[in-house]
Amino acid sequence: MSKPKLQARLAALSFSEKIKILEKLRDREKAIAASGLRKDKPQPHPPSDTPNKGS
Amino acid sequence: MKATLEAINQMQADGIIGAYAIGGAVGATFYLAPAATVDLDVFATLPGASATGIVSLSPIYEFLTSRGGAVQDEYIVVGGWPVQFLLPGNALEQEAVARAASTDVEGAPTRVMSAEHLVAIALNTGRAKDHSRILQFLEQNAVDRKKLQDVIERHGLSAKWNQFERRFLAGTQ
């Protein structure tokens, strides 16, 4: 099914049905966030405690 | 969401808030295909707020926390949904609440802003995600362009609309 057709089909659902989909999407977002799989911001390198010994 | 709306409706019945309407991404979902969002934006009037000139959301927070709601940053979590209560801050938002459409979620009555007001508020707010939402309304033919033009003109948003058209719609119409 093309994207516009799928969008039209989803848009035609009742508000209650759409809210159920929103709740599933929200729960999925929460699960992904809780799993630590997604890092929204790049983590800075921690400052090193050891002096740079060079090569 | 049903439990969330029932709590808000009870708050309205008890006179804590006056008229209210759902806006933001959940409001847009009334007209569009669902898109992920984590919060519910509720624009609510407060009885007596204009008479005193003092506006506080404390009665809302007190009402909902006494019924199990949990405050989390600018949200209060009710029925599993983080809800952000917003006071209509200008004539556009006041009109959006006054003219909201009645609907229900699993039998719980509620009101949602019109597509045209949602687009106009998004235009006025003007963040990237607001522009993205406006484009969704247009792409999905979910907004009445004549009504939208009327709202835009009456609320002094013509310059912003022209800018939006130049930036995002040039060559598409």
**What torsion, rounded to 10 degrees, do the Cα atoms B13, B39, B89, B118 define?**
-100
Q: Does residue A48 register a pLDDT over 50?
A: no
Confidence category of residue B67, pLDDT binned at 50, 70, 90:
very high
**pLDDT on residue A49:** 47
* Structural element, H or E, at residue A31: helix A15-35
**A window 9-38, beta carbon within 8 A of B:** 10-11, 13, 15-16, 18-19, 21-23, 25-26, 28-30
Mean pLDDT of chain A: 77
Mean pLDDT of B57-86: 94
**pLDDT on residue B49:** 67
Mean pLDDT of A19-38: 87
Confidence category of residue A50, pLDDT binned at 50, 70, 90:
very low
Q: Do A15 and B34 touch (CB under 8 A)?
A: no
Which chain A residues contact residue B103 at CB under 8 A? Answer: 15
Of B54 and B25, more confident: B25
Confidence category of residue B52, pLDDT binned at 50, 70, 90:
low
**pLDDT on residue A54:** 39
Confidence category of residue B55, pLDDT binned at 50, 70, 90:
confident
- Give the contacts of B46 (CB within 8 A, at least 6 positions apart): B17, B18, B55, B56, B59, B87
Q: What is the pTM of this model?
A: 0.87
Contact B1, B81 (CB under 8 A): yes
Q: Does residue B151 register a pLDDT over 70?
A: yes
Confidence category of residue A39, pLDDT binned at 50, 70, 90:
low
Mean pLDDT of chain B: 94
Shortest Cα distance from B76 to chain A (angstroms)?
16
Which chain A residues contact residue B36 at CB under 8 A? Answer: 22, 25-26, 28-29
Q: H/E/C letters for each residue in chain B?
A: CHHHHHHHHHHHHCCCCCCEEEEHHHHHHCCCCCCCCCCEEEEECCCCHHHHCCCCCHHHHHHHHCCCCEEECCEEEECCEEEEEECCCCHHHHHHHHCCEEEEECCEEEEECCHHHHHHHHHHHCCHHHHHHHHHHHHCCCCCHHHHHHHHHHCCCHHHHHHHHHHHHCCCC
Q: Tens digits of per-residue pLDDT, B2-15?
A: 999 999 999 999 99
Number of residues written out for chain A = 55
Q: Tens digits of per-residue pLDDT, B91-150?
A: 999 999 999 999 999 999 999 999 999 999 999 999 999 999 999 999 999 999 999 999
Which chain B residues contact residue A24 at CB under 8 A? Answer: none
**pLDDT on residue B48:** 74
**pLDDT on residue B38:** 86
Mean pLDDT of A9-22: 95
